[in-house]
Structure 1
Amino acid sequence: MKNRKNYLQRALGLSLFVSLVVAAGCKKSFLDVPPQATPPAVTFWKTAGDADKAVNATYANLHEWTNIAFAPIAVESMGSDDAEKGSSPDDASFMNDFDTFTASSTEGQIADFWSGEYKTINLANQVLDNVPAISMDGNLKNRYLAEVKFIRAYAYFRLVRAFGDVPLRLHLPKDASQYNIPRTPKAQVWAAIEADLTDAAAVLPQSYDANNLGRITKGAALALHAKAAMYQAKWADVLNYTNQVMSLGYTLFPNFEKQFRTDNENNSESVFEIQCAFIDGNGGASNSQYSQVQGVRGVTGGGWGFNVPTQNLVNEFETGDPRKEGTIIFRGTTTAEGDPIAAVGDNPMYNYKSYVPFSQFHNGYNEGCQQNIRVIRFADVLLMNAEAANEQGNATLALTSLEKVRARARNGNAAILPAVSTTDKVALRTAIWHERRVELAMEFDRYFDVIRQGRGAAVFGPKGWKANKNEVWPVPQNEIDLSARTLTQNPGY
């Protein structure tokens, strides 16, 4: 195992510690492994080692089933025009309800997504409420708290995009009266997200040593803050935060396709990755199913074949754009890593960004369990910068940031992807939106991008999307029932 995975092994090895700090069910039998030597809660939260375990458990939870598998695919990807269910027609057909916007409040993936994010928030709140009282190195304590504030902000970011108003809980409940709380207006949720990210960016380091590579950095906090501001159309803030990230030394990885392979995890373009790994002898810790559920169906080392690209996405790529082949695995081709894909199968194409070469499959473990999940890349930061600059009337900066992304994709081939030259604000905005789609395809942003751009009816209308309803998903009915109807439902559901 490479040094960059040393911190990761500690975090993943402690993934079962989650059972100590939150009671939650698991979706897959391989997670049903009893924790070894779990300390009673009354003896925990005493030492620096306890703080370390709790923070690592919070990290490890990020690649748990409800955070990276079916529920996020349903809620964050299926509604877009980039992706459809895939797999075989009769396998998990409920996923089609997200593609046609007919998913109801009783749909299990909606409930899983909601509970998965609140599990993350609960873990974060336990750290934030308990670690301050531990006697330990002050700088390390502050860094731990900053890392966890980022994780909490990330969970709320996902929730508010998906549901709008959501209950905002920033501390553990002190008594029974605090368990059921109403939905908080989304403006206040966004404000809490931004406050956490401001605090985190002020403390987090720009980088780590090899043993801690993969922990959350200052750049990650600034980039997520820019993204939160973008969803609120706070363009001056987006420009400010992306400019700061652009000064921190990130660079675009030279090869678009190769940046997503396991050999190039945590590369120069990576701003925030969820860390995953194959750990020999520890199936409970090698539990990421992100690659498995999206892998090429019907081959050893592939996967289940869900969340596949659409022809609509294929058609969006400009002629000769190598990102098409770096994003989509087509039937009847051979991957750049040498895996032949049969010409006949359940689906005509698969997600290349989640692909792990079949030779890296370990029998008895999830296919691709070692694949890190790229959440924020520097290319995204550049495109946010371009969009914000254009909205602020700075076409020169917008074109400069946009061209950096296109130039990397062009990879020296002057015959493809000509530089965008228009300074017309509307035309440049359209060009940036196009670039976001092809650059970030299959990375769980397209659906929410279209919504924030106000184009839901135009783009998703043919799929069944309805204005004043489908801007958000329904609140899970079971959560409403458990709250004794303290929670309310979104309009139209």
Structure 2
Amino acid sequence: MNRTMKFNIISLLFISIFVLSCEDDLDVEPNNAQTEFDFLNNPDNAVQLVNGVYNKLLDYNMYSFPWIGITSITSDDADKGSTPTDTGTDKHKMDNLTFSAVDVSFNDVWRGRYDGIYRANNALYYLELLTIDPVLKNRLIGEVKFLRALFYFDLVRCFGGVPIIVEKIDINDSETINQVVFIRKSKQEVYAQIELDLADAIEKLPLRGQYSPNDLGRATKGAAQALLAKAYLYQQKWQESYDMSGEVITSGQYALLADYAHVWREIGENQSESIFEVQATLTKGIRDYTNVQGPRGTPDLGWGFNTPSVNLVNSYLPGDVRKEATVIFVPSVLWDGFVAPNTWNNPRYNYKAYHSSLAESWNDDKGETAKNLRILKYSDILLIRAEAGFQIGMTSEAQDRINEIRLRTGLDPVDSVTLESILNERRWEMAMEHDRWFDIVRTGTASSAMAADGKTFIIGTHELFPIPNDQIIASGGLLTQNPGY
């Protein structure tokens, strides 16, 4: 695809007045710094300010190795992979469900999201002060609120109740930090904030088709609606989830791709099935996302982590094309003609993370590939509609949405659905896409699912990940720990 159509998220102009994380403060000499007066009187800075929030999505502590570890390697869909002696620091603990509060992955995920929230809050503060076209201002505010909701959605799924920070924080204001930054709110309060941000974003954001090609990839009304439908699903607000997913479906903005295997390839980026993706380029990719999961051995394509499990492979029905599109089997010939040799260390790898050096944009830098990460997809919305519909007795609608998905799978349509069959369909459709752990936890099936994978899920503890010990120490003990850790 034409990558010049992706909106520019790589040329950040971080001005000292909106430095975006305590750790990354820029030391700018006074004679080189742009004053607040200059900044507020240059409307062109508004878009750049918001691009800085998007840019956070590319960082290593957002959707790379730490996220892969706690969302995928923990689940029955994946194993640690790599080599037996390469633990990935703590990924062997994720695989065995023996993790604890001191493991670095949890601290990375926590810090990544709060860095993003800090950026979002600063952006919102300065957007309100900027004198720019009100239509553009509203849209930009909507984009930032969508992103802030996304950050909180990740946090609440991982840790439950967390601190809610929705204002620009002075890092020297110890009183506010102690009362706001270090105090956990309830899970319900976090979801309420997510709903509030997304409701405002829905009002302010345009439809996908109303953006110019140069703004491809920005948050849209459909993205905010999709994330809200998902947030409702996690809270078992079935009617609200059913209605909101219906808004996305009836908008006419989205459709399934004809070929399931294309969804995660470059050819599928920002196409009709995409609702929201992290936008990557060759020079500014999602740091090490593909490298972490690339096949390891000879020839070496990556670190070899997060390999599809036998449990996942055996779960597919015969003839389901999604298995071959999700799992690289060794040996085999890949879609681009590359030969997957038996000199690789593992018998399976994640096909959805594979970035082709032969048939896709490539500059020989495995750490900065131009592969987008799908965060919200249309098939996810169809599955949400089906599950929520089933829960409120709309079984005919649930069946129709499942059959819509199965049209491209090589499987026959179903004559009826159960909750179990819907959740199975969700597993096969969304495999290796970082939802499986959360799905088995929220549906109460984690204990049995993990037992079938030979692992022990501790009821009353593993529903949440531990609050990072480093954060508890930094708070002086104000942050409380989750049960069992």
**2:37 is the counterpart of 1:64:** no
Distance change >3 Å, CA 216–CA 18, structure 1 → 2? farther
Q: Which residue of the other structure, out of 136, 140, 150, is the alignment partner of 1:154?
A: 150
Mapped contact 2:78–2:308 kept (Cα < 8 A): yes
State the partner residue of 1:177: 175
Distance change >3 Å, CA 21–CA 299, structure 1 → 2? farther
The one-character-per-residue Cα deviations of 1:213-236 (angstroms, maximum 9, x if unpaired) are 111111110000000000000000
**SS of alignment partner, residue 165 of structure 1:** coil
Matched AA of 2:62: N
Distance change >3 Å, CA 94–CA 19, structure 1 → 2? farther
Matched AA of 1:400: D
**SS of alignment partner, residue 376 of structure 1:** strand
Q: Distance in 1 between matches of 2:89 and 2:140?
A: 41
The one-character-per-residue Cα deviations of 1:276-331 (angstroms, maximum 9, x if unpaired) are 0114xxxxx34532112111223568222111110000011100111101001111
Mapped contact 1:296–1:305 kept (Cα < 8 A): yes
Matched AA of 1:90: T
State the partner residue of 1:414: none
Mapped contact 1:389–1:397 kept (Cα < 8 A): yes
Mapped contact 1:20–1:38 kept (Cα < 8 A): no
Give the drift of 1:18: 10
Mapped contact 2:16–2:34 kept (Cα < 8 A): no
Q: Which residue of the other structure, out of 18, 21, 32, is the alignment partner of 2:19?
A: 21
Q: Pick which of 160-169 and 74-83 moved more.
A: 74-83
State the partner residue of 2:131: 135
Mapped contact 1:75–1:109 kept (Cα < 8 A): yes
Q: Distance in 2 between matches of 1:246 and 1:338?
A: 36
Mapped contact 2:294–2:305 kept (Cα < 8 A): yes
The one-character-per-residue Cα deviations of 1:255-282 (angstroms, maximum 9, x if unpaired) are 1111211132101000111100114xxx
Q: Distance in 2 between matches of 1:69 and 1:192?
A: 26
Matched AA of 1:213: L
**2:256 is the counterpart of 1:256:** no
Q: Distance in 1 between matches of 2:16 and 2:78?
A: 32
Q: Which residue of the other structure, out of 227, 235, 238, is the alignment partner of 1:235?
A: 238
Matched AA of 1:178: T
How does 1:190-269 map onto structure 2 within 5 Å?
190-207=191-208, 208-249=211-252, 250-269=254-273
Q: Distance in 2 between matches of 1:90 and 1:301?
A: 17
Mapped contact 2:18–2:123 kept (Cα < 8 A): no
How does 1:87-486 map onto structure 2 within 5 Å?
87-91=82-86, 92-174=88-170, 175-180=173-178, 181=180, 182-207=183-208, 208-249=211-252, 250-279=254-283, 285-286=284-285, 288-298=287-297, 302-359=301-358, 360=360, 362=362, 365-367=365-367, 369-410=369-410, 417-422=411-416, 428-461=418-451, 462-486=454-478
**SS of alignment partner, residue 260 of structure 1:** coil
Give the drift of 1:62: 0.6
Q: Distance in 1 between matches of 2:23 and 2:147?
A: 21
Distance change >3 Å, CA 403–CA 287, structure 1 → 2? closer
Q: Distance in 2 between matches of 1:256 and 1:214?
A: 21
Q: Distance in 1 between matches of 2:471 and 2:232?
A: 28
Matched AA of 1:225: L
**Matched-pair identity in %:** 37
Matched AA of 1:206: L
Q: Distance in 2 between matches of 1:322 and 1:403?
A: 15
TM-score, normalised with respect to structure 2: 0.92
Distance change >3 Å, CA 383–CA 289, structure 1 → 2? same
Q: Distance in 2 between matches of 1:157 and 1:442?
A: 19
Q: Distance in 2 between matches of 1:299 and 1:20?
A: 46
Distance change >3 Å, CA 45–CA 435, structure 1 → 2? farther
Flag structure 1 segments of 5+ consecutive residues without an equivalent: 27-31, 280-284, 411-416
**SS of alignment partner, residue 315 of structure 1:** helix
The one-character-per-residue Cα deviations of 1:348-405 (angstroms, maximum 9, x if unpaired) are 1111111111224745623561000011110000010011111110111000001000
TM-score, normalised with respect to structure 1: 0.90
Q: Distance in 1 between matches of 2:363 and 2:346?
A: 24
Mapped contact 2:73–2:306 kept (Cα < 8 A): yes
Mapped contact 2:12–2:52 kept (Cα < 8 A): yes
Q: Distance in 2 between matches of 1:289 and 1:93?
A: 15
**SS of alignment partner, residue 308 of structure 1:** strand
Mapped contact 1:361–1:367 kept (Cα < 8 A): no
